[in-house]
A and B are shown apart, each in its own frame.
Chain A
Amino acid sequence: QSALTQPASVSGSPGQSITISCTGTSDDVGGYNYVSWYQQHPGKAPKLMIFDVSDRPSGVSDRFSGSRSGDTASLTISGLQAEDEADYYCSSYTGSGTLVVFGGGTKLTVL
C-alpha cells in the first residue's frame, strides 16, 4: 500500500481538462511545499513534470499545473493530447529519514 493515495485511473477526451488528486497527511503533502509529479510512459523512466507543488521544469508544457489544498495535492492537465496518455505519480518530501514517498500512480487514458 502506497503512502500517498491517488485514483487508479482517470480519462478524458482530447482538448478537455482532467485533474488527478494525491492525498497524504500533515507529515508529507500537507506539511511541506515539496510535492512533485512524474509522468511515465510504458517502458520508460519517470519524467519530472511538477515540483514544489506548482513549479514546472524547463521544457514542460504549461498545460500541466499543480496545486495543493491541505493534505491533498492535484495535477491538472488542460487541453488533453494523445501523448498525455501515461501513468502519473505524485511524491512528497517527508521530513523524516524516508526522504520521499510516492503515490500508487494514476493511469490517464485519452479517449
Chain B
Amino acid sequence: QEQLVESGGNLVKPGGSLRLSCAASGSSFGDSYMSWIRQAPGKGLELISYVRGSGTYTYYAASVKGRFTISRDSAKSSLFLQMNSLRAEDTAVYYCASPSVRGIIAYWGQGTLVTVSS
C-alpha cells in the first residue's frame, strides 16, 4: 500500500526556520520524482519543489528559491524540505506528493500545516 505521511508543520515566527519530513512506504517511490506542493488558506495548489531520482536534479519555484531546500534519503524512503527565512505568505498546508514523469500525481500525503505569524 503506497502511503506518504508528512510531519513537521508548526507555528513559526517570520524569519524562522522549519524542516518538514515525508515518510514514504510502498514500492512505487524508489527513485521516482518526489515533490512538495502547498496550498495557502482558501487558495489553489502550487508545486514549490521537486527532486528527480536520487537527488541529482532539483527544482524550486521562484517563490521559494534560495530559501527552501529539498532533499531525499532513498535508503530511508524519506523526503525533506528545509524552510528558512519564512514569511507570512509561506503559511499553507504542505503536501508531499509523488508525480510521474508526465506530472500525474496519484499519491498525496495528508498534508502538514505551516503557519508563519508573530
Q: A97-B59, A99-B59 are in contact. Are A45 and B44 (CB under 8 A)?
A: no
Once bound together, how far apart are the Cα atoms of A46 and B35, in whole Å? 14
Q: Is the Cβ of B110 less than 8 Å from the Cβ of A45?
A: yes
Roughly how many angstroms separate A41 CA and B47 CA in the complex, as a whole number? 19
CB-based contact A99/B50 at 8 Å: yes
A46 to B45, CA, bound (A): 9
Contacts A45-B95, A45-B111: A102 and B44 contacting too (C-beta < 8 A)?
yes
Say yes or no for A110: interface residue by CB 8 A criterion: no
Query: In angstroms, how far is the closest chain A Cβ from the Cβ of B106?
Result: 5
Majority-rule SS of B interface residues: strand
Q: A46-B105, A48-B105 are in contact. Are A100 and B99 (CB under 8 A)?
A: yes
With A and B bound together, what is the CA distance between A92 and B106 in angstroms?
14
Does chain A have a CB within 8 A of B14? Answer: no
Number of interface residues of B (CB under 8 A): 20
- Determine if A85 is an interface residue (Cβ-Cβ < 8 Å): no
Residues of B within 8 A of A65 (CB): none
Nearest chain A CB to B84's CB is how many angstroms away? 22
How far, in angstroms, from A68 to B44 measured CA to CA in the complex? 22
Asked if B45 and A99 sit within 8 Å, CB to CB, the answer is no
Q: Which residues of A contact B75 (CB under 8 A)?
A: none
Closest beta carbon of chain A to B95's beta carbon, Å: 6
Any chain B CB within 8 A of the CB of A72? no
Task: Give min CB distance, A29 to chain B, whole Å.
Answer: 12
> Which residue of A36, A45, A99, A100 contacts B108 across the interface (Cβ within 8 Å)?
A45
Check if B73 is an interface residue, CB within 8 A of chain A: no
Residue of B nearest to A87 (CB): B44
Q: Which of A45, A48, A97, A99 contacts B33 (CB 8 A)?
A: A99
Determine whether the beta carbon of B46 is less than 8 Å from that of A102. yes
Q: Please, how many angstroms separate the alpha-carbon atoms of A34 and B105 in the complex? A: 11
A99 touches B109 (CB 8 A): no
Q: Is the CB of B104 within 8 A of A34?
A: yes
